[in-house]
Amino acid sequence: MRIMHISTRLIVGGSQENTVLSCEGQASPPHSHDVSLVFGPIYGPEGSLLERAQRFRSSAGASIETIETPNLVREVNPFKDWTCYRDLRRLIRAWRPDIVHTHSSKAGILGRLAAWHGRVPGVIHTIHGPPFHKYEKKWRNAMYIVSERIAARRCHVIACVANAMREQFLAAKIGRPEQYVTVYSGMEVDSFVNPQWTREKVRRELNLGDNDFVLGTVARLAENKGHDDLLDALGPMMQSHPSMKLLWIGDGWWRDRLLGRVKDLGLTDRVITTGLVSPEMIPKYMVAMDVLVHPSYREGLPRTVTQALLSALPVVAYDVDGTREVCLEGETGRLVTTGDRDGLRAAVQWMMEHPVERAAMGLRGRERCRVRFASRTMVDHLQEIYARCLAGRPVSSTP
């Protein structure tokens, strides 16, 4: 097949990692498809996956054709959006894909319209997270929902990284039930299950003690990721527990403000930040943690929660969107009502006081995730979906 993926921004993020892994797997044996990746401008402190996509070579020598289109921007911009639609029509006409697979809201809307009007045989969209949510302005939610309804009528399959996405989109009257299929995000499982770094070495590098209780967070320092909630919930607790440390992995537009809060709370030496870290290095920092804390206010399926469980780490997370499909309450971690700082504090306290139980949670999580969330599993499932789509057959509703 000739497969064209379209993503709004190729920054370091969950949906982008998912997309690049899909491209790599599809370009590699046994599939060995021709694969291109179309994306908009990359900027800011959130990093880029472009270099990884460009340096990829399969065992047979195949590469991913990367194509930047300058008018594919995240913000609503009628002039650029119309121009981008026309750009995508020209790209599709020139490249002649069998499958166009879109990712994220803006690329998903414009890419599906362009592919459908260009009569591409298979048009697929993946929902990595809903663009409409209760923390967004009402007018923007209404605009997103109408746009998603229009785009859903112009694609064959809507893939979801979690069952929760299907439920939310159908509740908003987007698409038809038979269009939807769940394809869990794939990970590079072995790097987490068999890390090449030791806990002691990484902790020394980060100036962490052997007996420190380390709560790790892997997320952009940005809105709705919950870093403020961690400080609100755990700041006083950290004052009475000198061994408790926070390890923040990532960077973002809120970095200076958040670190200002850390300083005001007198926790500068208790909150360790790594700055931007490439996806390949996340397993390194996982080995230094005791628990992953993920108080995000909105998600699709949080990759960092899955990656923590693959690292045999238990999880404390807000019960939002697809999180409960990975973090199972009392089995692989603790779920907390979104925004409940007291509940967040209590869950962390429980983890501190139950080391044997938390270790068992991590091990159960690893066994649950190591096959279901492998990148090979994801790529094989997409292969089946593409083939069924091109043959005009219904897709499976389960991964």
Residue 397 falls inside a structural domain:
no
Same-domain status, 170 and 239? no
Read off the pLDDT of residues 34-59 as tens digits, 9 standing for 90 and up: 999 999 998 767 788 999 999 999 99
Same-domain status, 355 and 382? no
Same-domain status, 113 and 211? no
CA distance 52 to 57: 10
Read off the pLDDT of residues 172-198 as tens digits, 9 standing for 90 and up: 999 999 999 999 999 999 999 999 999
Read off the pLDDT of residues 116-131 as tens digits, 9 standing for 90 and up: 999 999 999 999 988 8
Read off the pLDDT of residues 263-284 as tens digits, 9 standing for 90 and up: 999 999 999 999 988 889 999 9
Look at residue 176 in the predicted model and tell me its pLDDT: 94
Same-domain status, 258 and 297? yes
Residue 399 falls inside a structural domain:
no
Same-domain status, 145 and 288? no
Neighbouring residues of 120: CB distance < 8 A, sequence distance ≥ 6: 92, 97, 98, 99, 100
Same-domain status, 305 and 336? yes
Same-domain status, 169 and 256? no
Burial class (CB in 10 A: 0-12, 13-18, 19+), 94: exposed
Both tokens of 322, joined, read: 């697809």
Same-domain status, 31 and 175? yes
pLDDT above 70 for 399: no
Residue 157 falls inside a structural domain:
yes
Same-domain status, 212 and 345? yes
Coil, strand or helix: which one is 127?
Answer: strand
Same-domain status, 44 and 178? yes
pLDDT above 80 for 135: no
Residue 398 falls inside a structural domain:
no
Secondary structure (DSSP) of 283-296: HHHHTT-SEEEE--
Residue 66 falls inside a structural domain:
yes
Question: Could you give the percent of the chain with pLDDT greater than 70?
Answer: 99
pLDDT above 80 for 93: yes
Neighbouring residues of 160: CB distance < 8 A, sequence distance ≥ 6: 126, 127, 166, 169, 180, 181, 182, 183, 300
Q: Are 362 and 290 in contact (CB under 8 A)?
A: no
Look at residue 81 in the predicted model and tell me its pLDDT: 95
Distances (CA, A) of 32 to 7, 38, 305: 21, 19, 31
Look at residue 314 in the predicted model and tell me its pLDDT: 97
Tally of domains within the chain: 2
Residue 255 falls inside a structural domain:
yes
CA distance 91 to 361: 48
Same-domain status, 333 and 305? yes
Residue 396 falls inside a structural domain:
no
Same-domain status, 326 and 253? yes
The domain spanning residue 41 has which CATH number? 3.40.50.2000
Q: What is the mean pLDDT of residues 228-237?
A: 94
Nearest to 195 by CA among 274, 310, 312, 284: 284
Read off the pLDDT of residues 196-220 as tens digits, 9 standing for 90 and up: 999 999 999 999 999 999 999 999 8
Domain that holds residue 227: 190-369
Look at residue 398 in the predicted model and tell me its pLDDT: 44
Residue 301 falls inside a structural domain:
yes
Q: Are 79 and 49 in contact (CB under 8 A)?
A: no
* Longest Cα separation, the chain: 64
